[in-house]
């Protein structure tokens, strides 16, 4: 059984359509448009099976830059310590040190060495 509802334009007029097509092909009308002079062929085909998507490698995840400015000094010192960088200095110095490490320009500071000792004279 198939139900057809909506509107059709016949001779420039919008006419409501509410038909039910029975399994034997008989059309039953509940709307303003009579199906008496309408010939209908109903071909109901099952939907096609879904086509599986090809497997693909996941897109590489881009690392977003760390927002060091939003961190407090203790968090920055912890990051520096984890990376083997000096943990002394102002917040701005710690951020600069971490950013340099991110770009591969920083050198590890050995135990006991201070910022003053690592700076060229």
DSSP labels for 5-25? EEEEEETTEEEEEEEEE-TTS
pLDDT confidence band for 111 (50 / 70 / 90):
very low
User: Which one is predicted more confidently, 98 or 105?
Assistant: 98
Contact of 91 with 73, CB cutoff 8 Å? yes
Q: What is the pLDDT of residue 77?
A: 93
Contact of 8 with 33, CB cutoff 8 Å? yes
Q: What is the pLDDT of residue 38?
A: 55
Q: What is the pLDDT of residue 55?
A: 76
Q: What is the pLDDT of residues 28-83, one digit of tens each?
A: 776 565 655 555 555 667 788 888 877 777 666 666 667 899 999 999 999 999 98
Is the pLDDT at 88 greater than 50? The verdict is yes
Contact of 10 with 32, CB cutoff 8 Å? no
Pick from 48-52, 93-97, 109-113: least confident: 109-113
Question: What does the alpha-carbon distance between residue 40 and residue 11 come to, in Å, rounded to a whole number?
Answer: 20
Sign of CA dihedral 82, 85, 88, 92: negative
Q: Cα–Cα–Cα angle for 118, 82, 116, nearest 5°? A: 15
Element housing 75 (H / E): helix 73-82
Domain ranges for the chain, please list them: 1-37, 68-115
pTM (two decimals): 0.38
Q: What is the pLDDT of residue 45?
A: 74
Q: What is the pLDDT of residue 96?
A: 92
Contact of 35 with 19, CB cutoff 8 Å? yes
Q: What is the pLDDT of residue 50?
A: 85
């Amino acid at each position: 059984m198939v139900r057809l509802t909506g509107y059709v334009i016949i001779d420039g007029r919008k006419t409501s359509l509410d038909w039910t097509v029975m399994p034997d092909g008989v059309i039953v009308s509940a709307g303003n448009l009579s199906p008496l002079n309408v010939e209908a062929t109903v071909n109901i085909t099952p939907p096609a099976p879904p086509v599986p998507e090809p497997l693909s490698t996941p897109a590489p995840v881009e690392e977003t830059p760390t927002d060091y400015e939003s961190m407090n000094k203790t968090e920055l010192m912890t990051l520096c310590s984890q990376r083997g960088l000096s943990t002394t200095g102002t917040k701005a110095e710690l951020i600069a040190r971490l950013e340099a490490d991110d770009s591969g320009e920083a050198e590890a500071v050995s135990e006991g060495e201070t910022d003053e000792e690592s700076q060229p004279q």
